[in-house]
């Protein structure tokens, strides 16, 4: 009887050292995290109040890159898991030696009205300053995919005609849906004197007294800045006699810094202006040049050095244009905290290639100014959906 033995391998791979296994694990984790952040979900922390009360300072959120389709990197030479600089330094974490065109993988939805969207700040080319640290004007120093990340609500999509009257947004001539957490100014009339504790309990931080109304004895009048949701709760109090939405600007008031700067407007009375849409052709009269010159020159895939805007006219590569067809879609974004938000009212439209993803939910929330250490974590905000 012949005994058959399994053939032994003549060459065995040397066993990895502990250091090698440790390095391999780190490399795998970095590659996996980079892939997930690019293709699936990206975590962000909220540093500003432009979306309060929807999203608070100190909220940690997840943003889906899948919804609108992940973008291919425009700047491939970059240290993984960084954005603009190496952690804790001002040293750039990227090189612009290679710049690629941006493509978007298929998503399962388009940007829709009322979506809360993260995007790269397109900036206002007319800004007179460039402060990289603040993010104002600093966008000029970075490629599209590395510009500062902003989060706002999309109030108008490409092709929509948007107008703002008395702080109310109108889309295509109809009042737009108002997020229950959007912030407006109101005049509150009360039969009782209201103190700081009352406003604190009602989650109203911005309020002030009006002079007493001699025509209405025993009536106390306040100006408050709050949300429609909180207003509904205030109306339940028997001593609240009326709450009226009010404006801070007159319709004919020109506010500095409003887009487009050639048209006198303010943040409560703006437009009407149509949001550019891919394939839409406009006639380049002086009015349209004032509205769309920045988009054509800086964001619509033209070489800015070859686009000249002068005396209400646009020429590209020396050829005077009488009409123009847009090469991509654009969006109009606003913060829900309407009076504390630098948004499309100030710097214009958001190009489609600047869109990063859709904000999904808050997974952690840390109060930067808690009343006590026990209140540091806002437990009621954990795993809360963003609407």
Q: Where are the alpha helices (DSSP H) in the chain?
A: 18-39, 196-201, 228-234, 286-294, 344-347
The catalytic residue among 50, 158, 341, 344 is 50
Confirm whether 112 is a catalytic residue.
no
Confirm whether 50 is a catalytic residue.
yes
Using left for φ > 0, alpha for ψ between -120 and 50, and beta otherwise, residue 312 falls in left
Residue located via tokens 């009488």: 322
What per-residue string of b and e applies to 317-329 under the rule 16 or more CB within 10 Å gives b?
A: eeeeeeebebbbb
339 three-state secondary structure: helix
Q: Give the H/E segment covering residue 185.
A: strand 184-190
364 three-state secondary structure: strand
164 three-state secondary structure: strand
Q: 283 has which bridge partners?
A: 323
Q: 308 has which bridge partners?
A: 315
Beta pairing, strands 59-64 & 355-365: antiparallel
The catalytic residue among 53, 152, 291, 358 is 152
User: Any idea which residues carry the catalytic annotation?
Assistant: 50, 152
């Amino acid at each position: 009887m012949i005994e058959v033995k399994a053939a032994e391998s003549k060459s065995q791979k040397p066993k990895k050292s502990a250091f090698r296994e440790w390095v391999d694990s780190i490399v795998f984790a970095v590659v996996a995290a980079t892939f997930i952040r690019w293709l699936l979900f990206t975590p962000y922390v909220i540093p500003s109040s432009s979306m309060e009360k929807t999203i608070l300072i100190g909220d940690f959120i997840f943003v889906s890159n899948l919804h609108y389709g992940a973008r291919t990197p425009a700047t491939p030479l970059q240290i993984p898991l960084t954005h603009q600089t190496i952690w804790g330094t001002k040293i750039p974490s990227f090189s612009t030696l290679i710049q690629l065109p941006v493509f978007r993988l298929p998503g399962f939805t388009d940007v829709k009205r009322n979506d809360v969207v993260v995007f790269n700040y397109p900036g206002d080319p007319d800004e007179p300053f460039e402060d990289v640290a603040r993010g104002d004007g600093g966008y000029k120093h970075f490629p599209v995919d590395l510009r500062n990340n902003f989060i706002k609500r999309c109030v108008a999509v490409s092709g929509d005609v948007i107008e703002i009257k008395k702080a109310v947004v109108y889309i295509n001539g109809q009042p737009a849906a108002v997020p229950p957490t959007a912030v407006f100014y109101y005049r509150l009339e009360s039969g009782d004197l209201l103190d700081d504790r009352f406003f604190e309990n009602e989650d109203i931080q911005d309020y002030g007294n009006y002079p007493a109304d001699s025509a209405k004895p025993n009536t106390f009048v306040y100006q408050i800045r709050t949300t429609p949701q909180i207003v509904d709760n205030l109306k339940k109090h028997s001593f609240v006699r009326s709450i009226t939405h009010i404006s801070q600007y007159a319709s004919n008031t020109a506010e500095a810094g409003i887009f487009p700067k050639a048209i006198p407007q303010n943040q409560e009375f703006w437009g009407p202006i149509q949001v550019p849409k891919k394939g839409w052709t406009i006639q380049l009269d002086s009015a349209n040049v004032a509205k769309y010159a920045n988009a054509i020159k800086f964001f619509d895939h033209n070489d800015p050095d070859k686009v000249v805007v002068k005396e209400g006219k646009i020429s590209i590569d020396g050829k005077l244009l009488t009409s123009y067809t847009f090469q991509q879609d654009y969006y109009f974004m606003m913060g829900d905290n309407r009076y504390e938000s630098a948004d499309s009212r100030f710097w214009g439209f958001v190009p489609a290639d600047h869109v990063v993803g859709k904000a999904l939910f808050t997974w952690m929330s840390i109060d930067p100014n808690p009343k006590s250490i026990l209140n540091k974590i806002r437990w009621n905000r954990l795993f809360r959906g963003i609407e």
